[in-house]
Structure 1
Amino acid sequence: MLTYFIADLHLTQEREDITDCFLSFLRNEAPKAEKLYILGDFFEFWVGDDDDDEFVLNIARQLKTLSEKGTELFFIVGNRDFLLGKKYANKAGMTLLPDIQVIDLYGKKTVIMHGDSLCTNDLEYMKFRKKSRSWWWQTIVRCLPLSTRKKMARNYRAKVALRAENHKPQEIMDVTPTEVVKTLEEFDSQLMIHGHTHRPNVHQLDANGKAAKRIVLGDWYEQGSYLKVTEDGFELLNSSFK
């Protein structure tokens, strides 16, 4: 029995190397698993399920093929693809999960999430997150012409890039430790898996008065990155671009 977790691929036509690496993962590794969890920022941006671009449709077909072979697919939206909905998920054979989900991972009660909600010190982003996840904001955006939404996405990407260039302090861009503990204790769990920060690692901490772990998934900017979990344990693994 085997489960994979991935996040932060930021798939886009502009990065064929990432796409090729992911498709190779789908063909060679993912079919071995009973479950594959995609924890957000799978796409660089998402403007709506009505986007009929061949690139995103092909990704859906490849995921659907994997699903039909027997691997269950689950998806949690990230801060780049939070508008992804049931229509595209159905095309891809995926089950959409809420922002925070508790799963039984081989007997371990595990909290899984994208991870952006843990970065509470980034006040500017948290303000945007609250607005962008509201039903009224999403309803308005989905009513806009597709071309307008794509322009908004490009502007947002430029803004994010500018913020990165300004080198925000690491403690703002990373998770807030107290928020991690709070979340684990809210769900009475000793294990958390998330992405978002692009800092793959296994962190030891205390929650619920006991030892706990926080596993951070890596991004795919320079190599493939995935978490392999079996009944015997877990490994953070990489696959190089070819």
Structure 2
Amino acid sequence: MCRTIAELDDRLTACRACPRLVAWREQVARDKRAAFRDENYWGKPVPGLGPDDARVLVVGLAPAAHGGNRTGRMFTGDRAGDVLIAAMYAEGMSNQPTSVRPGDGLRLIDTRVTAPVHCAPPDNKPTPDERDNCRHWLVTELGLLAPTLRSIVVLGGWGWQALLPALAESGWAVPKPKPRFGHGVRYELVGSRPDRAPVQLFGCYHPSQQNTFTGRLTPAMLEQVLGAARDAGGGGRAGARR
């Protein structure tokens, strides 16, 4: 049992529970993309990013092969990360609008970013077994964040379906029928145990290239959901830029 977020992040990076994901992440780290051929790839599970007393949690899908799997930091070094961090900066949830590499000065404000699967999957598609193998990390993370956590933004329907059972295991009551994913939807989940405060659950399209290049998700749409989650979480707007 991990007692702190720092311990969780450290233990997570040594996980080798899913043979297909281990083989893929390490193959990508060896073969590399031509544009990054001179870089040393991380090639391991990617931990969450952000403070251990976050009021807002942003949940994605999994690290990108040449983003998080390369840099070792969630939503860093790829197009989806560029869009997400810029929107977070606009809403006062980060101190700068870019996330390029560890050590670039990025600091998240009252917000943590994580994923249901911590290894880069082939074709960005984890299997159900891989999702389930990785769930205990998310359950632990939710439990450690519980004292301060007040709102959650889920990026995409896949992450939404992966998060709901983790929330139930972590001490929140997930109603039946289960809340349905949609962009801009909002639900309140109450605690199923006395030490769990209610959380506001928000749905948002994932900032993938497919969604942002086609206009299905615009920066304004993403900022609107993030801002609503920030307000629901009680976070401030210090440092926000418009």
TM-score normalised by structure 1 residue count? 0.33
Q: Please state which structure has a larger fraction of its residues in strand.
A: 1
